[in-house]
Chain A
Amino acid sequence: MSSSTEEITNLISQEYKQGFVTELEVETFPPGLDEEVITKLSKIKNEPDFMLEYRLKAFRHWQTMKEPDWAQLNIDPIDYQAISYYSAPKKDSDKPQSLDEIDPELLETYKKLGIPLDEQERLAGVAVDAVFDSVSVATTFKGKLNEAGVIFCPISEALQEYPELVKQYLGTVVPETDNFFASLNAAVFTDGSFVYIPKGVRCPMELSTYFRINAANTGQFERTLIIADENSHVSYLEGCTAPMRDENQLHAAVVELIVMENAEIKYSTVQNWYPGDENGIGGIYNFVTKRAECRGDNSKVSWTQVETGSAITWKYPSCVLLGDNSVGEFYSVALTNNYQQADTGTKMIHIGKNTSSTIISKGISAGKAQNTYRGLVKVGKNAVNARNYTQCDSLLVGDKCGAHTFPYIEVKQPTAQVEHEATTSKISEDQLFFCQQRGLSAEDAVSMIVNGFCKEVFKELPMEFAVEAQALLGISLEGSVG
């Protein structure tokens, strides 16, 4: 195995491909956070009064809170006063009206990332809202969406144009008092996406957002709010990248999904924030609160996530199954390498009758990384015939990494059926030998086995992203086999 070990080591040490910095003129607030900063921020964004109140309320509550420390994570203390809470490409005095007006350097950035905005319209019909540091840069494909009645725009724009709609739903799934990072986000979020699918509409294309942290010393706090009204359907994708820097940057997002009767939201994430170098220096702290509420009967939410980036991930996309017959799904691949740490999982809260949920979680841990699955399945007293199936498997690559499983199962209903299964193992030498004996290199064999391990999750991703996810996995794992 020694020769293959070397190959694998080479493989693992592949660099972060999205680690470039874009030289742009940016307008950035000086670091620090107080009520004045929030007021200023709200003013710049020209927000309605209720938003400022909401932000200040959240901020006041946040000041009384402590950072959570229950996760299986080692977090260096974060100085929240050293972060700048607003950073925007400077030329936003006259906001771009079309793609032509966008800073070509910015467009170049997105090209490097593989999302050529100007080609999007010709591509398979993915409408992209790109968030660069704190502001939303461009939304493609607006015309076609308008025709269908779908609202897909930056949340800052939604606050201008549909304040009533935002006010009605914002913070109803993740209240501003929810947790430390959600409160912080509520106080300082600068942009994000807003999606509203009207009754009976099946969104004609996949919606997509790309997030990128570019400026140094800034935090990114985006807020996504998606509402699927009765009988509607939408599939939404998000992707994230950041440049390589040797200090840690904070990303604290909040995503709220609201699903009405017979509606369905499919939310996919490919998270590839900068994970830090092989010594664990730098990288993004990814502290995200994601929650979906199935408010109507027969509604459905499906979370799919591929987490390969970030120095630290703290993320639990949840489903509150309120409506009868509602369905929650969670498919996750979390890969950690070097000194990365991930504490991720889901919460399935069964409240309505005949609700069902599925959790498939695949954790891959390599190098000196720690990978934790933490999930809650809660069946309330009235959730008659609730059904849950959970499977979480961990794959260990290398003898210095860790894989942990912490499921919480709380059942108050005798007709509920809850199953949980977990296994942890390494890639067996037999499997490797078998593949190599058939002419595959050790590297290809590992890649194949890992891809097979994750297949259940990848098949839930939209096509283009499945390909990207596989490639990402290959890159992140390179050199880790032994």
Chain B
Amino acid sequence: MTAQHLNNYTEEYKNTANTLPGQSLGWLKTIRAEAFEYFSDKGFPSLREEEWRYTNVSAIEKKLFSAQLNLDESELDKQWLNRFRLEDALTVVVVNGRFSKEHSNLEGLPDTISVLSMTDALDQQPELVEKYLTKAVSNSEHSFVAFNSAWFSDGLFVHVPAKQVLDKPIQILHVVTQADFLATTRNVLVVDAMAEVSIIETFVGGDDAYLSAVVTEVFVGENATLTLYKMQSEGDKAYHFGGTYVKQQRDSRFTHHNFAFGGLLARNDIHTDLDVASECDLNGLYLGVKRQHIDNHTRINHEKPHAISRELYKGVLNQRARGVFQGRVIVAEDAQKTDSEMNNRNLLLSNDAEVDTKPQLEIYADDVKCAHGVTVGQLDEKSIFYLQSRCVDEETARNMLTFAFANEMVDKVKLKNLRDLLLLQLLNRFPQAGIDKEWL
């Protein structure tokens, strides 16, 4: 990164720093200062770094995104926003990096459970936030995390105390409407022992270029269950960085469903650390069209024995899109009886599409069962022939099979409303000929 570009960001930061929440908290100021120093020193990641070798973020460097707010949020089109709102969920809306009370809806939330904007949480429960912030991921993970720690302007804080089960899912709706805006939010999700909750992260935005840089820290307590969904449907010109860092305690269950649809350049990191006999299940679907670049990065860290991990990522790349999958499973020396499976399947639909995939196993224990598989290919000619022999024309047959390939991931979603929303997003990016929405 050139010094000039970096300076743009650091200068910009000096103007915004004192408007960020938590000014009165010494510990937070220290975190921010350290993070800022790390970022000023390192700049954005470069292609020379192994973890970034397929994703060039120089466009973000060169384009100065600014966190200066100059739009009135009342301009937000409510009807448009409602399309992404899940009916039966508790909704927290973050517009241009700031919590919007007006659009949010937390009716029916039990008193025992905290669902707050990060600003409010820092105000009302600073001790609790301090206990968790930067504990799932350190600033030195990479520059985007440091960047987020320094810059974050708001976010979601969820705390589900022990043995509480929340029937309704919580949705965080992240909206960016301002052009060239820099939306940096930090979410902290804490699920205590034996509690259970579903949380949905939704990212949408306008048609102009903007950058959303989100870090979500997740803490799943003993024997607790968390299902986390992420639907990334950013605008066509948007840049998206999303990092989800999970700490799982013993016997906990963490399921993640990651749908990457939008953005010009999208990068998604999911890291999870597994304690004894915990389980994680990572699912992902990335769908690239036009000139999209979608990078998925997962790391499953088996630190203790008897943990189970499952991972399935599917990609469909069309036109000039490029998909990246880098999955890493690390089994520590004493993590015996680990059971791990990782799969990545890719469908290339055009001559100019590209996929780069790198599934890695790093194993330091011996009594383990670990496997990974990757395929890159096209639709099965026999299946197409079969459908043709049943009087389906070739184009329709191809669309049906492609749809079926992707739909497997949507089908895994248990929330009906979310599934419908995902299907709509999926179909909008597909050649639809022959697929009747009514059937689905």
Nearest A-chain residue to B318, judged by Cβ? A414
Given contacts A412-B354, A416-B376, A418-B376, contact A404 B363 (CB under 8 A): yes
Interface-lining segment among B26-34, B191-199, B344-352: B344-352
Contacts of A379 in B (CB 8 A): 376
A406-B359 Cα distance, complex, nearest whole Å: 7
A377-B352 Cα distance, complex, nearest whole Å: 18
Query: Across the interface, do A404 and B360 meet the contact criterion of CB distance under 8 Å?
Result: yes
B366 is an interface residue with CB less than 8 A from chain A: yes
Query: Across the interface, do A409 and B336 meet the contact criterion of CB distance under 8 Å?
Result: no
Given contacts A404-B360, A406-B360, A418-B376, contact A411 B354 (CB under 8 A): yes
Nearest B-chain residue to A379, judged by Cβ? B376
SS class of chain A's interface: helix, strand, loop or mixed? strand
Q: Which of B349, B369, B376 meets A411, CB within 8 Å?
A: B376
A420-B376 Cα distance, complex, nearest whole Å: 9
Q: Which of B356, B367, B375 meets A410, CB within 8 Å?
A: B356
Query: Across the interface, do B358 and A407 meet the contact criterion of CB distance under 8 Å?
Result: yes
Contacts of B367 in A (CB 8 A): 399, 426
For chain A, give the interface size range: 35 or more
Q: Which of A409, A413, A422, A426 meets B371, CB within 8 Å?
A: A422
A260 is an interface residue with CB less than 8 A from chain B: no
Contacts of B371 in A (CB 8 A): 421-424
Q: Mark A374-404, 1 if CB is under 8 A from B, else 0.
A: 0000010100000000000010111111111
B401 is an interface residue with CB less than 8 A from chain A: no
Q: Which of A399, A407, A414 meets B348, CB within 8 Å?
A: A414
Query: Across the interface, do B373 and A421 meet the contact criterion of CB distance under 8 Å?
Result: yes
A419 is an interface residue with CB less than 8 A from chain B: yes
A381-B355 Cα distance, complex, nearest whole Å: 12
A417 is an interface residue with CB less than 8 A from chain B: yes
Nearest A-chain residue to B322, judged by Cβ? A412
Query: Across the interface, do A409 and B364 meet the contact criterion of CB distance under 8 Å?
Result: no
Given contacts A407-B374, A413-B351, A424-B368, contact A402 B358 (CB under 8 A): no
SS class of chain B's interface: helix, strand, loop or mixed? strand
A405 is an interface residue with CB less than 8 A from chain B: yes
Q: Which of B355, B363, B369 meets A402, CB within 8 Å?
A: B363
Q: Would you list which residues of chain A between 267 and 293 have a CB under 8 Å from chain B? A: none
Contacts of A418 in B (CB 8 A): 374-377
Query: Across the interface, do B364 and A402 meet the contact criterion of CB distance under 8 Å?
Result: yes
Query: Across the interface, do B373 and A420 meet the contact criterion of CB distance under 8 Å?
Result: yes
A420-B373 Cα distance, complex, nearest whole Å: 5
Q: Would you list which residues of chain A between 411 and 459 have a CB under 8 Å from chain B? A: 411-426
Query: Across the interface, do A414 and B368 meet the contact criterion of CB distance under 8 Å?
Result: no
Query: Across the interface, do B359 and A426 meet the contact criterion of CB distance under 8 Å?
Result: no
Query: Across the interface, do B348 and A413 meet the contact criterion of CB distance under 8 Å?
Result: yes
Nearest B-chain residue to A418, judged by Cβ? B376
26 contacts between A and B (CB under 8 A): A381-B351, A394-B363, A398-B366, A399-B336, A403-B363, A405-B359, A407-B374, A409-B357, A410-B356, A411-B355, A412-B353, A413-B348, A414-B351, A416-B377, A417-B376, A417-B377, A419-B375, A419-B377, A420-B359, A420-B374, A421-B374, A422-B359, A422-B361, A423-B370, A424-B368, A426-B366
Name B residues whose Cβ lies closer than 8 Å to a Cβ of A: 50, 333, 336, 346, 348-351, 353-378
